[in-house]
A and B are shown apart, each in its own frame.
Chain A
């Protein structure tokens, strides 16, 4: 940790509550613009439901395309929350504190968005509403529990429930804080939401225990969610590019890579937009970048293992698929872009200490990661289906339609829109965590040097 000035609690309250009590001028125009994009996006989805999936570029045999890619992408982003708030909380990494809420929020909103994609990409979405989501009493037929498409909603809704509870528990002290600083309808809102938070020792104890319990309970979800998403593909024996035993850990580590990078992007934006330079500091970016180097390298190992297994097995269809995926137009360009943006550029940058402490460079490198990670999913899903099967009658490719591209960008606007809307009513950086870290920080004397350190309560 670097030497820094201490931040008093009054300053913390004033600055971190600026989103609610002193809304910045850019907020309203941005939210309105995003709101218009979101509305157009919903209209587009309406057109698709109304006219049929013919409006997409999907064909035969490429039955899944941009939508499923984007679904996997958003589930991947959602791994940020659990990584930051559960794993780093349990491993007591102090630098996680200012990011926990933003990460958890990203989880909730990206899961909500991810869930919409399998729904809208189905041929008859209205049927899903009464076949899968609630138990179907009317037909007397259980959903097919052998299908990964049943495991998906179970895993994702468990994750969503857990994350929402986690977010809310961590929000309680700040809601109490806001209740004491507002009047009128806002005060009424925060009074209800804060559930009678007064900050007495018993409440603090319950809140802390609740948080730790939830992080521990959510650890299995950390492994399960993206494993299950990967099994959507891995259980399909006929598609060489999908049928892989390493998909579960490969997808999980890829999800952490993209999710934590998305948190970096968001932290940079928060630091600039709300001017939280005192709270989101270069040392936080530095710590995240160090973590990301490890995660990204682990993920790259899986990427190459997958290719090595293909080459080692010398299975003709599998080799043909890899040849298509890596060397044939247009996949070759996408593959090169994917490797460069997903690993080479960002990790190359993060290895420099000067980059790790430079917010703008961290912002761009983390954006690159997510371009690369989206391409990774696209390159698994689409060339996997567009492979050259023994049946020449079905050799087709895939060109996404304009509507599909728009819905992809709509999902980005939609998540940003939800985040900004949230920021108007709830603080994005947990005030109590910030104050706690201030209280715990101390300096210890090692020889002649004074080193900043963290004091912990006895476990």
Chain B
């Protein structure tokens, strides 16, 4: 059984300040490099099989010339009440005791049911065996499994980094310090729009940011209880306090 949120030592989560996001896609690139995500070549775009654990969605708001570009980075929301988890017949995806929605590649048989269940559409299926150009072979991250064809993959909150951080802390008989563990995307974000941390720690940056009046979650009507919290865009034209999305 997964521990209730209150009983956990760590409950990893992310706060995304949409107001700070410039849509630069650095997070996308960092994630691609960190997690051995296959290259999205032309064929993947043509056949709508792009893999991108984190993506920056762009919206246009308003009519020309009074038009605004909006950006929102979307990754696995690590829902506490995840629609993808109960439908997996082989427990390839389940909720662990640190609030992560984890994907066990070895168990996955590739029914793709979890992907159908995911309202955020952040799960990706390996339709082909992933290939990298020869020059890229030695660039693969040795800490991350290269997924074979026929299985699902998705944002893991850079679980390899979390593991390393927790292990180092345990070795030194202390708790993980806030900011010690960084996911690839939060590390790469030039404007600190993405912040990763432990929601169980009241003093952590994410816990404080989460209390901001601007906070919201994606698709709240589905009651998925995501561990990714968004802070709304501050629109100077509009009256203050109006929520985004």
Contacts and interface: CB of A to CB of B under 8 A. Distances in A.
Interface of A: 51-54, 56-64, 118, 122-125, 127-128, 131-132, 139, 141, 143-144, 146-150, 232, 235-239, 385, 389-394, 396-397
A124 B150 contact: yes
B90 interface: yes
B150 A149 contact: no
Nearest to A395: B48
B5 interface: no
A150 B89 contact: yes
Given A59-B48, A60-B48, A389-B119, A132 B110 contact: no
Given A124-B109, A391-B57, 14 more contacts: A51-B128, A60-B48, A122-B150, A123-B126, A124-B150, A127-B109, A143-B89, A143-B90, A143-B91, A147-B89, A147-B113, A149-B113, A150-B89, A237-B117
A146 B86 contact: yes
A150 B88 CA distance: 9
B188 to A, nearest CB: 19
Contacts of B126: 52, 123
A144 B110 contact: no
Contacts of B222: 237-238
B145 interface: no
8 contacts: A54-B49, A63-B116, A63-B125, A123-B110, A127-B110, A144-B88, A235-B87, A239-B116
A52 B128 CA distance: 6
B47 interface: yes
A128 B121 contact: no
Among B88, B113, B118, find the residue whose CB has the most chain A CB atoms closer than 10 A. B113
Given A60-B48, A144-B89, A236 B116 contact: yes
Contacts of B136: none
A52 B121 contact: no
B78 interface: no
A238 B111 CA distance: 17
Given A118-B111, A122-B110, A149-B111, A393 B47 contact: no
B109 A238 contact: no
A43 to B, nearest CB: 19
Given A53-B110, A59-B48, A132 B90 contact: yes
B129 A144 contact: no
A52 B150 contact: yes
Interface string B50-75: 10000101010000000000000010
A147 B83 contact: no
Complex A-B, nearest 7 residue pairs according to Cβ-Cβ distance, in ascending order? A123-B110, A123-B150, A238-B119, A59-B48, A63-B112, A54-B127, A396-B48
B34 to A, nearest CB: 21
Contacts of B116: 61, 63-64, 236, 238-239, 385
Nearest to A145: B89
B8 interface: no
B132 interface: no
A59 B50 CA distance: 9
Contacts of B55: 393
Nearest to A123: B110
A302 B222 CA distance: 25
Contacts of A127: 90, 108-110
Nearest to A386: B48
B169 interface: no
Given A122-B109, A124-B109, A124-B110, A60 B149 contact: no
Size class of the contact patch on chain B = 35 or more
Contacts of B129: 52
Contacts of A141: 90-91, 107
Nearest to A397: B48
B109 A147 contact: no
Interface in B25-65: 47-50, 55, 57, 59
Given A59-B48, A64-B112, A144-B88, A131 B107 contact: yes
A232 B87 CA distance: 9
Given A60-B115, A64-B116, A237-B222, A123 B49 contact: no
Nearest to A385: B116
Given A147-B88, A237-B83, A391-B74, A123 B109 contact: yes
A63 B152 CA distance: 11
B144 interface: no
A57 B125 CA distance: 13
Contacts of A56: 127
Contacts of B216: none
A122 B111 contact: yes
A52 B130 CA distance: 11
B104 to A, nearest CB: 10
Interface in B153-199: none
A190 B220 CA distance: 65
Among A57, A62, A123, find the residue whose CB has the most chain B CB atoms closer than 10 A. A123
B109 A60 contact: no
A237 B223 CA distance: 10
Contacts of A57: 47
A238 B125 contact: no
Contacts of A238: 83, 116-119, 219, 222
A236 B117 CA distance: 5
A281 to B, nearest CB: 46
Nearest to B104: A141
Given A123-B110, A392-B57, A236 B48 contact: no
B109 A128 contact: yes
A119 to B, nearest CB: 10
B83 A60 contact: no
Contacts of B112: 63-64, 123
Interface string B87-107: 111110000000000000001
Contact of B90 (A53, A131, A148, A390): A131
Contacts of B108: 123-124, 127
B57 A393 contact: yes
A237 B108 CA distance: 22
Contacts of A54: 49, 127-128, 149
A418 B50 CA distance: 41
